[in-house]
Structure 1
């Protein structure tokens, strides 16, 4: 694998309206960290597949916590990323494994300004850490709280109906916690779809695994094994990758 200063660059794709155009000079400031031979046998197998691929590809090392964009023998980008934390989580008899899976994938789609459809494990983690009961709402539920108000869904919003008759939707991204319970909003409601959590762009590699950005308050964690499985980038780095990588690009995770 090539390392050192990038030698050549892809011709940047035409930017969408309002999207910044990055010059070769700007991208050429990146110095590539050498790709090290991984310790895991499956990682070595995936890396050998990547080495045989002479086209343009994305490589992600879960050990080095780094992403490379490579074309032929030329390194076009080398940046730190956050990867899966590599641990399991158990609650209510269910087990989740938060790992960035090794193997060959590809960029199936790209999307600006993505919305995070919050998975159930997010609510279960909060329930376990705070000792809360989990209540999974349906769009037909009307739940009375201890103060006489109600939680219910009206249209696309889950909110609280006050004794005055006023209905106040909950803020997307804020957990709904009352009376020692955490209420899980139904899919399709605004409260289950959180803006900004994935940063400005996402590249979908299938099975729920994304290459995406980072909330502005969380960029210090890039370079650590802290995600729930996705590859998470600094937003400035992702903006460049998003611009130059087409759908169909191979992704090797090792």
Structure 2
């Protein structure tokens, strides 16, 4: 009964807001060795459809990626949700294994993590945004780079390769697409220090439901309000880490979690390969200073197999250790929940 009441309370909370949600801001864990962030107290936050709509409309309202919300709701008709139908939303996320500075793009989960500079008296935070990534034949490059230029209301000069592709499909492009609602770059773009002209940019109204999918020509595409917030927050020179981590492992409050996502288009790993990757990450997590190595730790094998089979991006608990000493955040106090 308590569980039902708890879920109902979250359901009402998430149905009360009007319009589009703001970007999700998470407080970083109190323990500096923990890497799982949580938005809601309930493990399974839910929302009601406000009207007859699609799952993509719900994703748009909560600034979620299309693939993300579809994987969390495998039994829901993507194209037809009836008014008051229940939709599951994401909650916990495991931070990618990168420095907690600047921007991290985890291509495997179509999601970005921005770590604002720590301010005196404010607990460290991370902001998370959905984004689209490059298709199989236009892969987004991996590695560390930085933002080298920012442009508001950009015109788009389609590269010759893209113009040839569109012409071959009977959809010729002009040499220049001026700023406006149908400009594929949206209202903001940020250049990365990567050969080939890779960008982080907004989107046009025609492709807004493609956020959170593998659809671009290599660039990183974001919702209009998300790219605006990011553009106004990050200066030129901000480091950007582009990684591909479909399987992530991390601690929260002495519980070890695993988060698994499907392979990108054009890539395929077997279950055995996924298990091997997961075991290495579990062993690495068990060797942290606050969790002395066990060879290997006694974790829930059934939960591991379920996570690696479902591949829904929902963190699953694998193992609980004895309480460890807490390492406070850089500010010396617990995070503030926003």
Q: For 1:124, what is the secondary structure of its paired residue? A: helix
1:34 aligns with 2:93: yes
Query: Per-residue displacement from partner, 1:7-46 (whole Å, max 9, x unpaired)?
Result: xxxxxxxxxxxxxxxxxxxxxxxx8752366xxxxxxxxx
Tell me the matched-pair count. 150
TM-score (norm 2): 0.40
TM-score (norm 1): 0.53
1:209 corresponding residue in structure 2: 198
Q: Would the alpha carbon gap of residues 2 and 108 (structure 1) be closer, same or farther in structure 2, given more than 3 Å must change?
A: farther
Unpaired segments of 5 or more residues in structure 1?
Answer: 7-30, 38-46, 88-97, 131-173, 177-184, 186-190
Shift of 1:83: 0.4
Q: For 2:236, what is the secondary structure of its paired residue? A: coil
- The answer to whether the Cα contact below 8 Å between 1:115 and 1:197 also exists between their aligned partners in 2 is no
Shift of 1:217: 1.9
Higher RCO (CA < 8 A, seq sep 6+)? 1
Shift of 1:74: 3.7
After superposition, residues 44-193 of structure 1 pair within 5 angstroms as: 47=97, 50-51=98-99, 54=100, 56-71=101-116, 74-87=124-137, 98-130=138-170, 175=172, 191-193=175-177
- Structure having the higher strand fraction is 1
Distance in 2, Cα, partners of 1:219 & 1:200: 13
After superposition, residues 237-252 of structure 1 pair within 5 angstroms as: 237-252=226-241
1:3 aligns with 2:48: no
Q: Would the alpha carbon gap of residues 32 and 70 (structure 1) be closer, same or farther in structure 2, given more than 3 Å must change?
A: farther
Q: For 2:206, what is the secondary structure of its paired residue? A: helix
Shift of 1:235: 0.5
Distance in 2, Cα, partners of 1:2 & 1:242: 26
- Structure having the higher helix fraction is 2
1:228 aligns with 2:225: no
RMSD: 2.6
Unpaired segments of 5 or more residues in structure 2?
Answer: 1-34, 41-89, 244-338
